[in-house]
């Protein structure tokens, strides 16, 4: 219709909602064409619109009409403001920001979350929190910052500072008060400069209170700004990151209980007068988080042997913290890089891969720890070490991470492994060097080959050949099944059960026998097990391992990851 109108070479075109039912791209194209006509052809265009943002950015004059009367008329930059737009549409659930040139839904309150933003880093966090029903508190933000205008538009509680001025005492003290009341604290990853340095002090204040900070920064940047603060930071990665397997860690109330347990153990050695108050605080937190239900214990039962209860509690918390979980979503053909690569390598080297030993176990050995003993009872408090086995495992994890970070970030080769081990651990260890050489020469190239997922997917769609490969869980001692992107065969008879699956199967069988013995007072004469194919594909053969263990046989001669040669 626009073309027909132009064919008549008019001096004036009148359009009634020309962008209705169009998607964003075509709305913008229509407005661009109309602006071009006014500039190049001198054609006047009058149109009715309901898209305020288009009117603000495209029109020379805006006339606001309500109930048959002209509410305002003039350049849109002058007549389109918060009060006028609110009156025009009778809006109370949204806010028009002339600075942003659009509408923002108002925040309806809820549990307050304190966001430290700036330079646009906070805007998406404010919107996300509002969408999920949280209250938003943000600051200290300068009045010329885009986050200030977004925060104001959604109705967040703002702690502002004048433009181009350092954060003053008044703003800082107000921020301290509000951050103490906040249910959660988020570091949106704001750029740090001389004017907002005191926002870092706000985060340090939260850390000093043993509270958790959610951050959008990378782990290296976080440590550069705040030092090594361990599990107090939860790193919120972009949804576009590869779903690496990462350690779950502890957070919120669970992290607070961990801190209380540590304080309790310290008080036993240094200040016994604090024990009663810590005793009560620990149980209050346990009851609040329903961990007593998880552990199937009442307070009365816990009080009968408090130290045994604390040991069980600490072991349970460590089990949660040390569990491998998926982190993010996978983008087809995108290999992990940087921090996500380190996380994935940590997960892949946690268990032995065929003849290649476990990195964590070898680090424990070089520190003089019995790794299996530590794993068997993480909650045990070792008076000689002055800490629990779980805290020793945390140290092992930290050292293993530093080794892998050195290789990933330093671009080292396998030949340089002895020098890195000597530098970071203070002594040589051939087994750790083997793990690092395997990591650099095998795992890193295999993960980089994730790019072949796209090529092989296109080959499959075109009816071409896709190379075969084994299936399984690479983080369960089967890293040799990498790279992904191949036409995997469901079960390799030489790799079922895997080494990790054998250990799990043995534990399942022992638990089954013990439960039967407790209930019946004897051992079962026969056991029936249903073995699902898909389940064993995922686990590497947990159920098969359980059945074989109950039959009294075990695998030996494992060569490649999970490959078996015979049975005893």
Instruction: Please list the residues that pair with 15 across neighbouring strands.
Output: 47
Q: How many CA atoms lie within 13 A of 510 on its CB side?
A: 6
118 band by pLDDT with thresholds 50, 70 and 90: very high
Reduce the DSSP state of residue 88 to 3 states and report it.
Answer: helix
- Does residue 239 register a pLDDT over 50? no
238 band by pLDDT with thresholds 50, 70 and 90: very low
- Does residue 303 register a pLDDT over 80? yes
Query: Do 190 and 118 contact (CB within 8 A), yes or no?
Result: yes
**Does the CA dihedral 516-519-520-521 come out positive or negative?**
positive
- Does residue 564 register a pLDDT over 90? no
Reduce the DSSP state of residue 8 to 3 states and report it.
Answer: coil
Structure tokens that stand for 325 in this block? 């979980």
Instruction: Give residue 7's pLDDT.
Output: 67
Higher pLDDT, 510 or 468: 510
- Does residue 326 register a pLDDT over 80? no
Nearest-angstrom CA–CA distance, 235 and 229? 12
Instruction: Give residue 241's pLDDT.
Output: 38
Any idea which of 1-15, 336-350, 511-525 has the lowest mean pLDDT? 1-15
- Does residue 1 register a pLDDT over 80? no
- Does residue 453 register a pLDDT over 80? yes
Structure tokens that stand for 462 in this block? 């075109």
Where does 367-494 have alpha helices with state H? Answer: 371-376, 389-410, 417-425, 430-438, 444-448, 452-461
Query: Do 22 and 53 contact (CB within 8 A), yes or no?
Result: no
Query: Do 144 and 124 contact (CB within 8 A), yes or no?
Result: no
Instruction: Give residue 565's pLDDT.
Output: 47
Reduce the DSSP state of residue 69 to 3 states and report it.
Answer: strand
Nearest-angstrom CA–CA distance, 99 and 143? 12
Every domain of the chain with CATH number 3.40.50.720 lies at: 106-236
Inter-residue long-range contacts of 533-537, CB under 8 Å, 24+ positions, other chains counted: 533/490, 533/491, 536/491, 536/496, 537/471, 537/472, 537/490, 537/491
Any idea which of 207-211, 484-488, 522-526 has the lowest mean pLDDT? 484-488
- Does residue 135 register a pLDDT over 50? yes
Higher pLDDT, 281 or 218: 281
CA angle 222/226/231 to nearest 5° reads: 70
Neighbour-count burial of 202, counting CB atoms closer than 10 A to its CB (0-12 exposed, 13-18 middle, 19+ buried): buried
Structure tokens that stand for 268 in this block? 């036993």
Query: Do 536 and 476 contact (CB within 8 A), yes or no?
Result: no
Q: To which CATH superfamily is domain 2-91 assigned?
A: P-loop containing nucleotide triphosphate hydrolases (3.40.50.300)
Structure tokens that stand for 534 in this block? 């898909």
324 band by pLDDT with thresholds 50, 70 and 90: confident
Question: pTM for the full model?
Answer: 0.52
Instruction: Give residue 483's pLDDT.
Output: 87
Nearest-angstrom CA–CA distance, 274 and 187? 33
Residue range 190-208, pLDDT digits in tens? 999 889 999 999 999 998 8
Any idea which of 76-80, 120-124, 512-516 has the lowest mean pLDDT? 76-80
Return phi, psi of residue 166, to 5°: -70, 155
Query: In which residue are the tokens 């985060």 written?
Result: 203
Instruction: Please list the residues that pair with 158 across neighbouring strands.
Output: 138
CA dihedral 215, 219, 225, 231 (to 10 degrees): 70
Neighbour-count burial of 457, counting CB atoms closer than 10 A to its CB (0-12 exposed, 13-18 middle, 19+ buried): middle
Inter-residue long-range contacts of 442-446, CB under 8 Å, 24+ positions, other chains counted: 442/479, 442/480, 443/345, 443/348, 443/349, 443/479, 443/482, 444/341, 444/345, 444/408, 446/479, 446/482, 446/483
Instruction: Give residue 159's pLDDT.
Output: 96
Higher pLDDT, 221 or 448: 448
Query: Do 364 and 396 contact (CB within 8 A), yes or no?
Result: yes
Among 107-111, 241-245, 275-279, 406-410, the range with the most confident prediction by mean pLDDT is 275-279
Query: Do 378 and 388 contact (CB within 8 A), yes or no?
Result: yes
Instruction: Give residue 556's pLDDT.
Output: 65
Q: Parallel, antiparallel, or unpaired: how do β-strands 44-48 and 62-66 relate?
A: unpaired
Average confidence (pLDDT) over 9-17? 86
- Does residue 70 register a pLDDT over 60? yes
- Does residue 467 register a pLDDT over 80? yes
| Residue 458 vs residues 332, 453, 485: alpha-carbon distances, Å | 12, 9, 11
Structure tokens that stand for 60 in this block? 């020379």
245 band by pLDDT with thresholds 50, 70 and 90: low
Every domain of the chain with CATH number 3.40.50.300 lies at: 2-91
327 band by pLDDT with thresholds 50, 70 and 90: low
Instruction: Please list the residues that pair with 14 across neighbouring strands.
Output: 46
Nearest-angstrom CA–CA distance, 540 and 92? 57
Average confidence (pLDDT) over 270-297? 90
Neighbour-count burial of 482, counting CB atoms closer than 10 A to its CB (0-12 exposed, 13-18 middle, 19+ buried): buried
Nearest-angstrom CA–CA distance, 151 and 300? 49
In whole numbers, what is the pLDDT of the chain averaged over residues? 84
| The CATH number of the domain covering residues in 106-236 | 3.40.50.720
Q: How many CA atoms lie within 13 A of 181 on its CB side?
A: 13
Average confidence (pLDDT) over 501-523? 90
């Amino acid at each position: 219709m626009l073309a027909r109108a132009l064919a008549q070479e008019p001096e004036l075109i009148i359009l009634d909602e020309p962008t209705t039912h169009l998607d964003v791209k075509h709305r913008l194209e229509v407005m661009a064409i109309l602006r071009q006509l006014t500039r190049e052809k001198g054609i006047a265009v009058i149109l009715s619109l309901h898209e305020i943002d288009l009117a603000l950015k495209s029109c020379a004059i805006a006339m606001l009409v309500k109930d048959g009367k002209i509410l305002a008329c003039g350049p849109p930059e002058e007549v389109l403001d918060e009060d006028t737009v609110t009156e025009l549409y009778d809006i109370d659930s949204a806010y028009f920001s002339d600075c942003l040139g659009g509408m923002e839904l108002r925040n309806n309150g809820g549990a307050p979350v304190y966001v430290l933003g700036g330079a646009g880093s906070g805007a998406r966090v404010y919107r996300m929190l509002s969408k999920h029903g949280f209250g938003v508190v943000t600051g200290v933000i300068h009045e010329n910052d885009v986050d200030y205008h977004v925060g104001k538009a959604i109705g967040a509680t703002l702690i502002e500072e004048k433009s181009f001025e350092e954060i003053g005492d008044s703003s800082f003290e107000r921020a301290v008060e509000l951050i103490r009341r906040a249910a959660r604290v988020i570091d949106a990853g704001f750029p740090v400069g001389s004017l907002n340095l005191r926002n870092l002090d706000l985060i340090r204040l939260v850390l000093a209170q043993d509270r958790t900070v959610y951050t959008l920064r990378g782990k290296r940047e976080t440590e550069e700004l705040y030092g090594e603060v361990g599990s107090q930071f939860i790193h919120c990665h972009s949804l576009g990151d590869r779903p690496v397997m990462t350690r779950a860690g502890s957070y919120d109330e669970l992290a607070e209980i961990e801190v209380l347990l540590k304080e309790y153990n310290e008080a036993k050695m240094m200040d016994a007068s604090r024990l009663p108050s810590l005793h009560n605080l620990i149980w209050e937190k346990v009851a609040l988080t329903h961990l007593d239900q998880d552990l199937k214990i009442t307070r009365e039962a816990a009080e009968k042997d408090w130290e045994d209860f604390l040991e069980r509690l600490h072991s349970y918390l460590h089990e949660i913290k040390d569990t491998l979980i998926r982190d993010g979503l996978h983008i087809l053909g995108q290999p992990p890089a940087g921090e996500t690569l380190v996380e994935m390598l940590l997960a892949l080297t946690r268990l032995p891969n065929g003849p290649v030993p476990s990195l964590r176990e070898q680090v424990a050995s070089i520190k003089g720890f019995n790794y299996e003993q530590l794993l068997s009872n993480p909650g045990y408090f070792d008076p000689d070490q002055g800490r629990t086995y779980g805290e020793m495992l945390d140290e092992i994890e930290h050292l293993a991470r530093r080794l892998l970070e050195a290789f990933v970030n330093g671009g080292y080769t396998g030949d340089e492994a002895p020098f890195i081990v000597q530098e970071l651990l203070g002594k040589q260890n051939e087994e750790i060097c083997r793990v690092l050489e395997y990591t650099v020469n095998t795992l890193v190239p295999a993960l980089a080959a994730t790019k072949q997922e796209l090529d092989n997917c296109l080959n499959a769609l075109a009816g071409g050949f896709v190379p075969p490969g084994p299936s399984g869980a690479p983080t369960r001692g089967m890293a040799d099944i990498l790279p992904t992107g191949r036409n995997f065969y469901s079960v390799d008879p030489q790799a079922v059960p895997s080494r990790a699956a054998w250990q799990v199967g043995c534990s399942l069988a022992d638990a089954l026998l013990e439960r039967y013995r407790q209930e019946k007072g004897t051992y079962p004469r026969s056991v029936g097990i249903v073995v699902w194919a898909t389940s064993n594909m995922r686990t590497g053969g947990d159920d098969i391992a359980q059945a074989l263990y109950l039959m009294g046989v075990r695998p030996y001669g494992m060569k490649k990851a999970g490959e078996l040669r015979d049975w005893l």
